[in-house]
């Protein structure tokens, strides 16, 4: 059985840790990770609770393939009600932490209530305890990990922690594990901060915690899967060499790279901040930004960027703590910190990205909020007096300064920590917020790629590229090529992607495998690890069930069809340049068909028949 069948329930108010058996009926219906965490959250909690109230729960959950030799089998998710959106929040991370939790013998940790004082959870195999964290409060993620390892004299402990951003309730604060891998989006770190929970520190050494249902079949299936990843151009070459940054120039040339708060769809500085630029030797010190690629646990793709800054760069000149190598910019971060606000200084982006990792906040939402602030400044709505310095589009110094202030929760950084929607509303221009359900767009323009527009509008956690990656068909031709501007067939393709993605996100595997893997590659791996029937049809039903359960949570939280929307800019202001010139989002054409395909009413509510069919 690939589940440990153990759930750790931590009551932060009472300071207690209790073990309970995993609900296997739910595991059979929701698989694990995203699906199972969502099922627990929805079953135990009123979706109307304030995200920062002690009544909100915070769930760390692994999948059945987490901590196995399946390629990329090391993922975990954090599920909670998100403060940025008021919707379901589910953030997925790699690194080594998830597997360690499994090795210690836990599928899931559920945090309830709020601690009266700062604490961290220490797990050593079966033993779990809350430890005083008053000496860690106010510390960065990086300091926290170092102190915990020293304190327990165990360098093999794996740590997932919040930085000052989570403590300060930056609405897009994330949870960072292994120094630079993050459950980054939707503000799960702010919820953790609201609970006075600084970190989870885990050491897992058990050999009996879980087994593969059919080991021979498991190795046959995972070996076959690894061969497919190695032979594929994207997962075998593109991602290891350039990381996700392989996309920067591709998306820019396609005219779908949102620039300066989506005013433009192409960025003149794209070449300077893309994957190729990271390989180029700097004129200043003769070294490249990229040191090497790195893998998460069990990953045979290894798309991670490990970068080292130019020690002479103005942002780190007198700060030797940033002169070593660390997690470099991925495509989304490079876009958000760069193109979204017009900055094309790769070193500055790397520095801001280091700060995001160090103090735990989402570079996508942060960078996009900088873009919104710069537009407000450009329009004369936001002034130098309020910000404390000038804030024109393209100002490297301003972007860097805002990253520092947001990390520390100082000055205008406090306003930045509210995110784009609240920032723009505060200054009377809600229309300038490039968000859906309050969450900032990632790096693809919803006008340039019609399917991505629909994906953003319907994503259960707000604007997100990882819930239905229509870039695959619309740009890369996976599994079939679809024209970016076409609407025909997009709702059906998106539904299929959303359901499949929910399965992958619930398995313990990384979504990036799906550049090469289809369900027929994934299914045998899940089947061999887990007892019972995990046929392709059943898995897709599981995916659809998860999607609908998330939807039910959001409806229960008070969201409606009105929230399945895009900002007016994407609906009315045509793309100015490039191959998609003149395009606006045709969401209104696609959305009704999408609802119909989902088995939802015209108001976006699952029909009685759909609910019965899925058992939601």
Partner 1 sequence: MQKSLHIDPNKCTGCLQCEMACAWENYRSFTVAKSRIKVFTFHQEGRFVPYTCTQCDEAWCLIACPVDAIRLDPVTGAKIVLEATCVGCKVCTIACPFGTINYVAQTGKVQKCDLCGGEPACATACPTDAITFVDSDWTGLGKMRQWAGKTDTNPATV
Tell me whether residue 172 or residue 210 sits nearer to partner 1 (CB atom). 210
Q: What gap in Å lies between CA 609 and CA 607, rounded to an integer?
A: 5
What count of Cα atoms within 13 Å lies in the side-chain half-sphere of residue 236?
11
CA 40 to chain centre: 20
CB of 348 to partner 1, least distance (A): 20
Least Å from the CB of residue 291 to partner 1: 3
Question: Given the complex with partner 1, which of 295 and 541 has the nearer CB atom?
Answer: 295
**237 touching partner 1, by CB under 8 A:** no
Residue (310 or 552) nearer to partner 1, CB: 310
Name the minimum Å distance from CB 44 to partner 1. 30
Q: Does 179 bind partner 1 (CB under 8 A)?
A: yes
DSSP 8-state symbol, 474: I
* Residue 166 beta carbon to partner 1: minimum distance, rounded to whole angstroms: 21
Told to check if 326 binds partner 1 by CB under 8 A, we report yes
Shortest separation between residue 94's beta carbon and partner 1, angstroms: 11
Helix (H/G/I), strand (E/B), else coil: 260: coil
Residue 230 binds to partner 1 (criterion: CB under 8 A): yes
**Residues of span 71-130 touching partner 1 by CB under 8 A:** 71, 96, 99, 103
Among candidate residues 140, 257, 535, 532, the one with its CA nearest the CA of residue 522: 535
Would you count residue 577 as binding partner 1 (CB under 8 A)? Answer: no
Long-range contact list for 156-160, CB < 8 A, 24+ apart? 156/203, 157/201, 157/202, 157/203, 158/95, 158/96, 158/97, 158/100, 158/101, 158/201, 158/202, 158/203, 159/97, 159/199, 159/200, 159/201, 159/202, 160/60, 160/93, 160/97, 160/199, 160/200, 160/202
Q: In whole angstroms, how close is the CB of 101 to partner 1 at the nearest point?
A: 12
Distance CA 209, CA 168 (A): 37
**Interface residues for partner 1 in 185-204 (CB under 8 A)?**
203-204
Q: CA dihedral in degrees (167, 436, 255, 512; nearest 10)?
A: 60
- Verify binding: residue 325, partner 1, rule CB under 8 A: yes
List the one residue from 215, 479, 574, 592 that touches partner 1 (CB under 8 A): 215
Cis peptide, bond prior to residue 479, ω within 30 of zero: yes
Q: Residue 221, SS3?
A: helix
**Strand, helix or coil at 540?**
helix
Nearer to partner 1, 238 or 473 (CB): 238
The SS3 assignment for 521 reads helix
Q: Which residue number, 230 or 381, has a Cβ lying nearer to partner 1?
A: 230
Could you say which residues in the range 332-391 bind partner 1, by CB under 8 A? none
d(CA 460, CA 467) in angstroms, rounded, equals 8
Greatest Cα-to-Cα distance within the chain, rounded to the nearest angstrom: 67
- Residues in 120-159 that interact with partner 1 by CB under 8 A: 156
* CA nearest neighbour of 598 among 504, 502, 495, 498: 495
- Give the pairing of strands 88-93 and 76-81: antiparallel
Residue 233 binds partner 1 (CB under 8 A): no
Which among 397, 267, 282 is positioned nearest to 334, based on CA atoms? Answer: 267
Residue 183: CB minimum distance to partner 1, A? 20
- The only residue of 25, 207, 283, 318 in contact with partner 1, by rule CB under 8 A: 207
Least Cβ distance, residue 71 to partner 1 (angstroms): 8
Q: Are strands 119-124 and 197-203 parallel, antiparallel or unpaired?
A: parallel
Q: Using the rule CB under 8 A, is 576 a contact of partner 1? A: no
Using left for φ > 0, alpha for ψ between -120 and 50, and beta otherwise, residue 372 falls in: alpha
Alpha-helical regions (H) of 236-345: 239-242, 248-253, 270-273, 275-279, 331-337
Residue span binding partner 1 (CB under 8 A) among the ranges 205-213, 269-277, 464-472, 596-604:
205-213
Q: Of 32, 35, 51, 67, which one interacts with partner 1 (CB under 8 A)?
A: 67
Burial category of 447 from C-beta neighbours within 10 Å (exposed 0-12, middle 13-18, buried 19 and up): buried
Query: Residue from 5, 149, 226, 429 that binds partner 1 (CB under 8 A)?
Result: 226
**Binding pattern for the stretch 287-316 against partner 1, x by CB under 8 A and - elsewhere:** ----xxxxxxxxxx-x-x-xxx--------
Least separation in angstroms between residue 326's CB and partner 1 is: 7
286: left (phi over 0), alpha (psi -120 to 50) or beta: left
**Stretch near partner 1 under the rule CB under 8 A, chosen from 66-74, 127-135, 336-344, 391-399:** 66-74
* Closer to partner 1 by Cβ: residue 96 or 361: 96
Helix (H) or strand (E) run with residue 77 in it: strand 76-81
Shortest Å distance, C-beta 178 to partner 1: 9
Q: Is 469 in the site for partner 1 (CB under 8 A)?
A: no
**Of the ranges 65-73, 273-281, 309-317, 424-432, which one interacts with partner 1 (CB under 8 A)?**
65-73
Residues 534-563 that bind partner 1 (CB under 8 A): none
What whole-number distance in Å separates Cα of residue 539 and Cα of residue 421? 36
Whole-number Å distance between alpha carbons of 563 and 297: 36
- Residue number with CB closer to partner 1 (243 or 371): 243
Q: Nearer to partner 1 by C-beta: 219 or 314?
A: 219
568 binds partner 1 (CB under 8 A): no
Q: How many residues sit close enough to partner 1 to count as binding (CB under 8 A)?
A: 39
Question: Nearer to partner 1 by C-beta: 325 or 492?
Answer: 325
Residue 324 binds partner 1 (CB under 8 A) = yes
Of 99 and 339, CB closest to partner 1:
99
DSSP state of 391: -
- Parallel, antiparallel or unpaired: strands 181-183 and 108-112: unpaired
As measured in angstroms, the least distance from the Cβ of 151 to partner 1 is 19
Per CB under 8 A, residues contacting partner 1 are 67-69, 71, 96, 99, 103, 156, 179, 203-209, 211, 215, 226, 230, 240, 291-300, 302, 304, 306-308, 324-326
């Amino acid at each position: 059985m690939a589940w440990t069948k153990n759930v750790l329930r931590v009551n932060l108010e009472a300071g207690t840790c209790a073990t309970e058996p995993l609900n296997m009926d739910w595991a059979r219906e929701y698989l694990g990770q995203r699906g199972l965490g969502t099922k627990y959250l929805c079953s135990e909690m009123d979706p109307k609770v304030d995200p920062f109230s002690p009544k909100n729960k915070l769930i760390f959950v692994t999948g059945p393939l987490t901590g196995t030799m399946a390629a990329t089998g090391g993922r975990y998710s954090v599920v909670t009600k998100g403060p940025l959106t008021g919707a379901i929040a589910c953030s997925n991370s790699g690194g080594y932490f998830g597997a360690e939790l499994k090795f210690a013998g836990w599928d899931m940790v559920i945090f309830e209530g709020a601690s009266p004082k700062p604490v961290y959870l220490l797990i050593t195999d079966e033993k779990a305890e809350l430890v005083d964290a008053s000496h860690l409060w106010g510390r960065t993620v990086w300091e926290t990990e170092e102190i915990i390892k020293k304190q327990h004299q165990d360098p093999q402990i794996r740590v997932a922690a919040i930085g000052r951003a989570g403590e300060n309730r930056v609405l897009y604060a994330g949870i960072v594990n292994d120094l630079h891998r993050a459950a980054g989006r939707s503000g799960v770190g702010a919820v953790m901060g609201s609970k006075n929970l600084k970190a989870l520190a885990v050491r897992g050494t058990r050999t009996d915690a879980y087994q593969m249902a059919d080991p021979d079949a498991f190795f046959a299936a995972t070996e076959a899967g690894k061969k497919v990843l190695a032979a594929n151009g994207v997962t075998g070459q593109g991602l290891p060499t350039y990381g996700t940054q392989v996309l920067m120039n591709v998306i820019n040339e396609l005219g779908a790279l949102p620039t300066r708060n989506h005013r433009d769809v192409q960025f003149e500085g794209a070449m300077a901040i893309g994957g190729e630029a990271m390989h180029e030797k700097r004129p200043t010190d003769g070294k490249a930004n990229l040191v090497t690629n790195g893998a998460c646990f069990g990953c045979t793709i290894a798309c991670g960027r490990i970068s080292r800054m130019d020690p002479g760069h103005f942002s780190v000149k007198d700060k030797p703590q940033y002169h070593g190598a660390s997690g470099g910019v991925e495509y989304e971060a490079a876009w958000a910190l760069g193109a979204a606000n017009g900055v094309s200084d790769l070193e500055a982006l790397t520095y801001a990205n280091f700060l995001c990792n160090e103090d735990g906040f989402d570079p996508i939402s942060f960078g996009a909020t900088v873009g919104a602030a710069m537009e407000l400044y450009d329009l004369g709505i936001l002034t130098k007096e309020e910000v404390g310095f000038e804030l024109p589009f393209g100002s490297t110094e301003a972007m860097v300064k805002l990253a520092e202030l947001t990390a520390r929760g100082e000055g205008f950084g406090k306003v930045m920590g509210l995110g784009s929607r609240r920032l723009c509303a505060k200054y009377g221009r809600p229309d300038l917020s490039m968000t859906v359900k309050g969450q900032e767009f990632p790096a693809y323009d919803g006008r340039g790629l019609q399917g991505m527009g629909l994906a953003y509008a319907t994503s259960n956690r707000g604007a997100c590229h990882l819930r239905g990656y229509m870039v695959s068909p619309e740009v890369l031709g996976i599994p079939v090529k679809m024209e970016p501007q076409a609407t025909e067939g997009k709702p059906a393709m998106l539904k299929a992607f959303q359901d499949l993605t929910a399965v992958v996100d619930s398995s313990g595997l990384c979504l990036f495998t799906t550049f090469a893997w289809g369900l027929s590659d994934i299914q045998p791996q899940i089947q061999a690890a887990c007892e019972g029937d995990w046929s392709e049809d059943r898995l897709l039903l599981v995916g659809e069930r998860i999607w609908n359960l998330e939807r039910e949570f959001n409806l229960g939280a008070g969201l409606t069809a009105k929230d399945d929307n895009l900002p007016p800019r994407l609906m009315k202001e045509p793309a100015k340049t490039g191959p998609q010139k003149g395009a606006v989002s045709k969401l209104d054409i696609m959305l009704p068909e999408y609802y119909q395909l989902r088995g939802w009413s015209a108001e976006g509510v699952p029909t009685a028949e759909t609910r019965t069919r899925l058992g939601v």
